[in-house]
Amino acid sequence: MNPLQFRFPSVEALINAPVDIPALKAHGQIEVGGNTYRISSAADGQFQVERPDDQATQWTFFKSVYALLNGQSEDSHIARTLNEKAANPPTNPRQEPFPGGRFQLNPLILEKGQSSSPVTEVKDQGVPDGKEAFASLHEWAKKAEHLKQPITTEDIYTLYLDDNPKVQRLEPAEQKAVLNELVRLDREQGVDITPQSFDEMPAEYRRVVTLDRLIEGHPDPGMDFYRFEPKGRTSHELSTGRLTVNIEPRFSGELAQVIATLVKSENAIVAAKIAGPSEMGARPDSAVLHIKADYATTQALGRKLQAMLSRDALIDHAPAGMQPLAKGLYYAETMKNDSSSHGISRATLIETALKDQSDGALESKLRKAIAERGYNPDNPAFRMTPTPMLTDTPPSRAGSLPH
């Protein structure tokens, strides 16, 4: 049995995904949002969901905050979701989605100590050819094609999550130091830093509960993502794309400092998030800058990032379907009303291509799905229509849709 079958990035993802209830009961635990929960059955057959006993004290605080924001604790929400699924099973039972083996899109992965090669500066590109971005998305789609039916966006997205760089992870003491640095930046640097678990936290509550208290009461703060926004922001703008950053985990504290500085100073950045210290190096991205900018503006932002980070900080690991700017820096645009998650957005395109019953190769179906959603079939990192710009620089496009 593959434990990834019972891993979900959020409660919402769990609600929308099919679940093999008997297999879940046999497995005895579920992972939601990076947190692991023990699964058991009550005398009436209902699911009971709880954190392991050794984390119960910390979890009490986290549950109370979650209940204040959402009306119920997260474990109660999970239990209710599972009980509803058990009462209304799908007509086709869910099968284990993954064949054996790991998903490796980019063969160029740097081990610790191998990142001393010269940094290639981000250079202005008029028209990226998109070959690498499309090839990586196509490779992902071919891997997804071998998943067992029924194939869902969640299954495809999990493949994306499983493609991570092979780097040396942080030791517990180093992880603690990174969390301490996040607390310092939140207090001193004019930015609000909040665990992603609390994305919907009302501003008035965030002013009362400081980041150190949220971390203290969090069941596993190293597993969360941390969102950076200018302090006191009262409105939220929509982003048009993202700049993904990948680093050696030992530079996590430095990256947090750089992001705090840029979030305060760069109007092109709507918000940013950085992986928690125990997740750093375990996911396809170390940090993401959500931006409202065109490609040329993002290139300029990439050059600033390069100048502010240590020479050996960035590593070469491109998330599938993104346009490389330079080592460790990758760009992708977002359609209006599409998921702000690049992985989920492009997983949806792959699911559409896999469900296409027309004649033709998977590559053709994938290009069709990309174009129909409004992205560029020659370079799926880009939209077909120009991204709104913050400068007078002419828009850069990556190919064009055939007439």
- Write down the pLDDT at residue 86: 82
Q: How far is CA 205 from the centre of its chain?
A: 25
Predicted confidence (pLDDT) at residue 198 exceeds the cutoff of 90: no
Assigned domain for 365 exists: yes
Rounded Cα distance between 87 and 27, Å, is 19
Assigned domain for 43 exists: yes
Rounded Cα distance between 188 and 181, Å, is 10
Rounded Cα distance between 112 and 301, Å, is 26
Do 268 and 389 meet the contact criterion of CB atoms below 8 Å apart?
Answer: no
- Write down the pLDDT at residue 151: 94
- C-alpha distances in angstroms, 221 versus 11, 250, 254, 294? 18, 18, 19, 34
- Write down the pLDDT at residue 73: 62
Mean pLDDT of the chain, nearest integer: 80
Assigned domain for 388 exists: yes
Predicted confidence (pLDDT) per residue in 148-197, tens digit: 999 999 999 999 999 999 899 999 999 999 999 999 999 988 899 999 98
One-letter amino acid at 73 equals S
Q: For 92, list phi and psi in degrees, rounded to 5.
A: -110, 110
13 is in which domain, residue-wise? 3-87
- Is there a single domain that holds both residue 255 and residue 109? yes
Assigned domain for 186 exists: yes
Predicted confidence (pLDDT) per residue in 135-145, tens digit: 999 999 999 99
Helices (H), 88-234: 131-144, 153-161, 172-188, 203-208, 211-217
One-letter amino acid at 186 equals D
Length of the chain counted residue by residue:
403
Predicted confidence (pLDDT) at residue 34 exceeds the cutoff of 70: no
Predicted confidence (pLDDT) per residue in 255-270, tens digit: 999 999 999 999 999 9
- Is there a single domain that holds both residue 52 and residue 134? no
Assigned domain for 162 exists: yes
Assigned domain for 93 exists: no
- Is there a single domain that holds both residue 82 and residue 151? no
- Is there a single domain that holds both residue 73 and residue 197? no
- Write down the pLDDT at residue 368: 98
- Is there a single domain that holds both residue 195 and residue 281? yes
Q: What average pLDDT score do residues 330-353 get? A: 95
Rounded Cα distance between 35 and 111, Å, is 28
The count of structural domains within the chain is 2
- Is there a single domain that holds both residue 72 and residue 117? no
Last residue of a domain, one of 87, 113, 139: 87
What pTM value is reported for the model? 0.69
- Is there a single domain that holds both residue 249 and residue 390? yes
- Is there a single domain that holds both residue 60 and residue 169? no
For the chain, first and last CA: distance in Å? 48
Last residue of a domain, one of 87, 118, 152: 87
- Is there a single domain that holds both residue 355 and residue 211? yes
